Structure 1
Amino acid sequence: MLKTVTIQTDERGLLFRKGSYVKLLQPGTYRFWSWKKTTEVVLPVTKPFAVAGKDLRLFLHDEELLRQLEVVHVQDHEIVLHYEDEKFVAVLPAGSYAFWNVLKRHTFIRVDIRNPELPAGIDPAVVPKLGTYIQTFEVANHESGVLFYNHVRQRELPPGKHVFWKGPVSVSVAKADLRQQQLDMTGQEMMTEDKVTLRLNFVCQYKIVSPLRALEFKSFEEQLYIRLQLLLREYVGTLKLDDLLKMKQEIGAFVLSRLNGESEEYGVHFVSAGVKDIILPGDIKDILNTVLLAEKKALANTITRREETASTRSLLNTAKLMDENETLFRLKELEFLEKICEKIGTISLTGGGNLLEKLNLLLGDKNGRKA
């Protein structure tokens, strides 16, 4: 009894006898005797070559079949990007694959994932389609990144999106903020040379200029804080309280100078530093207020005595001039008379005589006798 098998143009057939592969069947019509116990598997050439339950290696001895297949073997440390007619199709992980080359042209990009860098030949438009095979790190415009392979530093990364393969090599990116930053020291207790305990509020601005160097420090900001604390203790501990209060503007200059002397060690540039507040204990504040009040009272008394002395000296000089010059004395009398008249509503003079003479009689002569 005959059985008929038809293979279409977009198909290929595989002939098996008693379960073993025999040959490739090209498009056409075939008739087989049923007693020969043959089976035929028809495969579409638009799909990858795969036979259920059969390993690909069972077919690779057939040279005629191999001429119509593109066979790809992917090692454990590789992935392969599969393209059909220059269009990306899929990522092939470790394994063996075969594709019909009859209707489509297949090309492949082989990638060694032991090197996390993406090859230059991969179109950026393909990258989002790579899914779980890649890992992405973004460095903002105000940042600088440092690339590490297996925790070993490689190089500095500029701002942008950076893509790496996921594989046996661990990839990580540490980022440093390049903007100006501020380090605040609040309520730091310190002791002056004369054993007065006070609290300082201090501020310091800085910018990271060498990310590779700065990221070598564990807890970078904490170490900067401790260094700033030690410098302040060094400076404050050499001054008495009175000197410290007079020179508090110089604390920032001292600290800034010392910090910039160590800037290369930290990979930063220190922009500014200064004291915001000096907070004294309550008893010391009361003492200072008492001293200040006493100083102000003493100053006020000094000024008062100085003004009184000047006023007395002025009166003495005026008296000497009037004693030496009778006309000046009479003018001064008239000046006082004018002031008296300004405060008196009405003056009544009786009797005859000249008005000025009568006023003169009121005043008397310069020796105090009535005219």
Structure 2
Amino acid sequence: MGRRAVLFIREFTVRKHERGILLRNGDFERFLAPAVYRFFDPHRRLEVERFDLTQPAFEHRLVDYLVRWQPEAVEDHFWSIETGAGQIAVVYRNGHPWTFVAPERRALYWKGVVRVTAELIDVEENLAVPRRIVQACVTERQARRASLFDAAVLVREVPEAHVGLLFVDGRLARELTPGVHAFWKIGRNLRVELVDLRVKGLEVGEQELLTKDKESLRVHLNASYRFRDVQLTVRNVRDPVDFLYKEIQLGLRSAVADRSLDALLEHKGSLDGDVFARVHDKLAALGIDLTEVGVNELARITI
């Protein structure tokens, strides 16, 4: 071969952990296995794109073309994954959950170095995420790394002595026990509200009330309560704590208005039980247990 011809020889190397695609004028020619290639290319129309097989995801403009017009070559070089409507594919890398393919999508992954498998899941029928995938998400978060599943999975932890309320597209779907829970959020709007089941205190601030004999009285009380049936409460009360505050306030106002100033000052302790009796049953019917009412201050207002 003459010296001039040698100048037109182009050399490309595809290493052992790589695969190549040979393009001519930007069009696909063929796949290249590991080797050193020499092409006579006087007009520099050839190009070789190299792909590292340790990064198996094949995201390329030619994916659809290759699947349609080079099916045998695709079968030789790739794992092909396709999803339908309402489906996702959980992709495993060497047996570990790695990423996912969204509904109605196609993805190719290089064969040769990384073992890639996939599991199709109907996310329209299955709301809960399999435990092995949940664990992968939690592990990534504990390592302070972003998980590729974050776009598809909602993960929430319910602490001890709490329940979680899962809302799907604005509707209460289920109650969650303490622990880690995960749900597919593709195609739906999810949120989880945490509710503390322990006994809590509520301070009903200073109230200026009128007694039966039209005397002005300053009253301050505290109450204790807990949620007994969270779903019942949430389905019927928009803001449970505000509702509880107002009901105790109304009960206090009624109890004071039914008695004279002297009766109230003489029997201060009876006001606790009176307020409790006036509101307890109504709250209980809505899933709220009122456990105690205590009047801290009871004094006549003098002008």
Give the letter for the 1:58 counterpart: Y
Give the letter for the 1:233 counterpart: R
- Over 3 Å counting, the alpha-carbon distance change for 1:192 and 1:84 in structure 2 is closer
SS, match of residue 103 in structure 1 = coil
Q: In the TM superposition, what whole-angstrom CA distance separates every residue of 1:207-249 from its partner, at most 9, and x where no partner exists?
A: 2211222334223222222222222333333333333333332
Question: Aligned equivalents of 2:113 and 2:214: distance in 1?
Answer: 93
Q: CA deviation at 1:107?
A: 1.0
Q: How does 1:282-297 map to 2 (within 5 A)?
A: 282=302
SS, match of residue 223 in structure 1 = helix
TM-score, with length taken from structure 2: 0.75
Q: CA deviation at 1:78?
A: 5.6
Contact 1:192 1:239 in 2 (8 A): yes
- Greater RCO, CA 8 A, separation 6+: 2
Q: 1:143 aligns with which of 133, 144, 162?
A: 162
Q: Is 1:274–2:284 an aligned residue pair?
A: no
Q: Whose strand fraction is larger, Structure 1's or Structure 2's?
A: 2
Q: Report the equivalent of 2:147.
A: 130
Give the letter for the 1:55 counterpart: L
Instruction: Give unpaired runs (5+ residues) of structure 2.
Output: 141-145
Q: Report the equivalent of 2:268.
A: 248
Q: Report the equivalent of 2:128.
A: 117
Q: Percent identity?
A: 25
Q: In the TM superposition, what whole-angstrom CA distance separates every residue of 1:255-280 from its partner, at most 9, and x where no partner exists?
A: 22333322332312222223323211
Q: Is 1:58–2:68 an aligned residue pair?
A: no
Question: Aligned equivalents of 1:214 and 1:22: distance in 2?
Answer: 67
Q: CA deviation at 1:148?
A: 0.6
SS, match of residue 112 in structure 2 = coil
Question: Aligned equivalents of 1:74 and 1:222: distance in 2?
Answer: 47
Question: Aligned equivalents of 2:243 and 2:168: distance in 1?
Answer: 26
- Stretch deviating more after TM superposition (120-129 or 247-256): 120-129
Contact 2:97 2:133 in 1 (8 A): no
Q: How does 1:13-52 map to 2 (within 5 A)?
A: 13-16=20-23, 19-26=26-33, 34=41, 39=46, 41=48, 43-44=50-51, 46=53, 47-48=55-56, 50=58
- Over 3 Å counting, the alpha-carbon distance change for 1:126 and 1:224 in structure 2 is closer
Q: Report the equivalent of 2:212.
A: 193
Question: Aligned equivalents of 1:51 and 1:187: distance in 2?
Answer: 66
Question: Aligned equivalents of 1:5 and 1:187: distance in 2?
Answer: 85
Q: Report the equivalent of 2:143.
A: none
Contact 2:159 2:178 in 1 (8 A): yes
SS, match of residue 226 in structure 2 = strand
Contact 1:45 1:103 in 2 (8 A): no
- Over 3 Å counting, the alpha-carbon distance change for 1:24 and 1:249 in structure 2 is closer
- Over 3 Å counting, the alpha-carbon distance change for 1:186 and 1:168 in structure 2 is same
Q: CA deviation at 1:12?
A: 4.1
Please say which structure displays the higher CA radius of gyration. Answer: 1
Q: Whose helix fraction is larger, Structure 1's or Structure 2's?
A: 1
| Corresponding residue pairs, total | 282
Contact 1:11 1:42 in 2 (8 A): no
Contact 1:116 1:167 in 2 (8 A): no
Q: In the TM superposition, what whole-angstrom CA distance separates every residue of 1:191-221 from its partner, at most 9, and x where no partner exists?
A: 2332222222233222221122233422322
Q: 1:260 aligns with which of 258, 280, 292?
A: 280
Q: How does 1:1-371 map to 2 (within 5 A)?
A: 3=9, 9-16=16-23, 19-26=26-33, 34=41, 39=46, 41=48, 43-44=50-51, 46=53, 47-48=55-56, 50=58, 54-60=61-67, 61-62=69-70, 63-73=72-82, 80-92=89-101, 95-111=105-121, 117-122=128-133, 124-127=135-138, 128=140, 130=147, 132-133=150-151, 134-216=153-235, 217-282=237-302
Give the letter for the 1:68 counterpart: H
Question: Aligned equivalents of 2:189 and 2:247: distance in 1?
Answer: 34
- Over 3 Å counting, the alpha-carbon distance change for 1:92 and 1:262 in structure 2 is same
Instruction: Give unpaired runs (5+ residues) of structure 1.
Output: 284-371
Contact 1:80 1:93 in 2 (8 A): yes
- Over 3 Å counting, the alpha-carbon distance change for 1:16 and 1:270 in structure 2 is closer
- Over 3 Å counting, the alpha-carbon distance change for 1:145 and 1:13 in structure 2 is closer
Give the aligned CA root-mean-square deviation in angstroms.
3.5
Question: Aligned equivalents of 2:98 and 2:169: distance in 1?
Answer: 31
Q: Report the equivalent of 1:358.
A: none
